Amino acid sequence: MSRAWDRTSTSTTLRTILTDLRIADVRVTPIAFADPPLLNNSGCHQPYALRSIIEVETEGGIVGLGESYGSKSILDGLAAVAAQCPGLRVTDINGLRRVAHSLRNAGDESSMRRIVGAIEVAMWDAHGKTTGQRVCDLLGGQVRETVPFAAYLFYKFAGHAGVGAEDAWGEVLSPEQLVDEARGMIEAHGFRAIKLKGGILEPDSEIAGLNALRAAFPDAPLRIDPNGGWSLHTTLGLLPRLEGLVEYLEDPTLGIDAMAAVQAKTDIPLATNMCIVAPEHLPPGLAQRAVRVILSDHHFWGGLAASRELARICAIWGIGLSMHSNSHLGISLAAMTHLAASTPNLTHDCDTHYPWQTDEVIEGGKLIFHNGALSVPEGPGLGVSLDRQALARLHHNYTNHGYGTRDDESEMQKHQPNWRFERPRY
Ligand SMILES: [Mg+2]
């Protein structure tokens, strides 16, 4: 076998792989999956959560998967960008950004990052599935065996308005019910850290809930996230009661200036997925020392590559790193796990809504937590594949029971007619 033959063979193989990596088609399927009546500062979760499933098919016939938001505005943007993707290689993240940027509406950088993030994950998956590599390896290599997640507690109603039956979790509005919810979630999944979604009840009630959790789970790191539901004045007044109780305080109040004013008055690390959610927020947020932890989210930071860049910035500036979530299914969870598994400076257990979801869209059913953590799914790419029957069923939900956009306020008003969205509320 001559060396010249080797070179020809190698270049032929390379050409074949590069051709195989070209995008032939991008399909976006909106879905709606069952969601419990969870409470937050914006109101109450509706009976269905909206989501989109993205399939990037290569000229080699490989299908990469992504999962993202399902509101109409994002779906419209996804459709526009998806139509321009054929011909790009799945490795060409800059090309995807260029396409999205050329189609964006003036000033709509935030939507553009969400759209790039949705398609980009499916491109990484297709890249991995074509070349036999896991996404965490493509992102720089696995640095931890398993990825720890937190028990994500919500106050909630017993069932959706107009539905007679309670769901499996029942009503959770008191400290005792909150401890029961935590116990159920920890017994089922083994979580170590506990996060409470706050900003809904009176702050006194929510701090009573935290104290009840502390008594029941003495070693669990606790967090509370009022979603900007507290004024600056209220937050400053509550600090003495939170010191020594929580590992971090997530978005108690709104905006970089107010968060910086709180952080200057306390040793409790402040965390955010609200005041630093885009690259342009980093310089003022870091200069004002507004937070000590950033909750990354590849769905709105612009994908896995952008989230890797964010992690590096956090490492350089000595900022802690955790992970935010919205209601999601297994494709998102797999992507979050690959990203976290390849992020050296993940400092806190990640958020996930996954235990609240009963539906699934991947083959084999739900991914399973062991001791509150997930192993990286086995196999190339994200290691998950699409259950097409489930996709059809959840798309049927979307077309028959869905809504164009999420509306927690009007859902809350079905339970409490005089309720109005207010931020801050207290
Ligand atoms: Mg948050």
For residue 399, report the distance from its CA to the centre of ligand 1, in Å: 30
Angstrom distance (rounded) from CA 219 to CA 222 = 9
Report the separation in Å between the CA atom of 352 and the middle of ligand 1, taken as the mean of its atom positions: 11
Distance from residue 226's CA to the centre of ligand 1 (Å): 8
Q: What is the pLDDT of residue 12?
A: 77
**Confidence grade of residue 106 (pLDDT, cut at 50, 70, 90):** low
Task: Assess whether pLDDT exceeds 70 at residue 2.
Answer: no
* Distance (Å) from CA 233 to ligand 1 centroid: 20
User: Which pLDDT band, with edges at 50, 70 and 90, does 246 fall under?
Assistant: very high
Residues, CB within 5 angstroms of ligand 1 (ion): 225, 250, 273
Cβ contact 298:325 at 8 Å = no
Report the separation in Å between the CA atom of 136 and the middle of ligand 1, taken as the mean of its atom positions: 25
Q: 402 vs 300, which has greater pLDDT?
A: 300
**Would you state the pLDDT for residue 16?**
76
Q: Is the pLDDT of residue 80 over 60?
A: yes
Q: Is the pLDDT of residue 303 over 90?
A: yes
pLDDT per residue as tens digits for the range 213-233: 999 999 999 999 999 999 999
- Positions annotated as catalytic residues are 197, 324
pLDDT band at 1 (very low <50, low <70, confident <90, very high): very low
Residue 26: the pLDDT is 98
**252 Cα: distance to centroid of ligand 1 (angstroms):** 9
Q: What angle is formed at CA 77 by the lines to CA 75 and CA 79, rounded to 5 degrees?
A: 70
- Condensed to tens digits (0 to 9), the pLDDT of residues 341-379 reads 999 999 999 999 999 999 999 999 999 999 999 999 999
pLDDT at 189 over 70: yes
Q: What is the mean pLDDT of the chain?
A: 95
**Residue 403's pLDDT band (boundaries 50, 70, 90)?**
confident
pTM: 0.96
Going by pLDDT thresholds of 50, 70 and 90, the confidence category of residue 5 is: low
Q: What is the pLDDT of residues 12-37, one digit of tens each?
A: 787 777 788 999 999 999 999 999 99
Tell me the CA–centroid distance for residue 243 and ligand 1, in Å. 19
Domains of the chain by start residue, with CATH: 18-133 (3.30.390.10), 137-383 (3.20.20.120)
User: Which tokens in the block code for residue 258?
Assistant: 């107010």
Strands 194-197 and 222-225: parallel
Question: Cα(143) to centroid of ligand 1, in Å?
Answer: 26
Distance 272 CA to ligand 1 centre (A): 6
The rounded Å distance from CA 249 to ligand 1 centre is: 10
Distance from Cα 195 to the centre of ligand 1, integer Å: 10
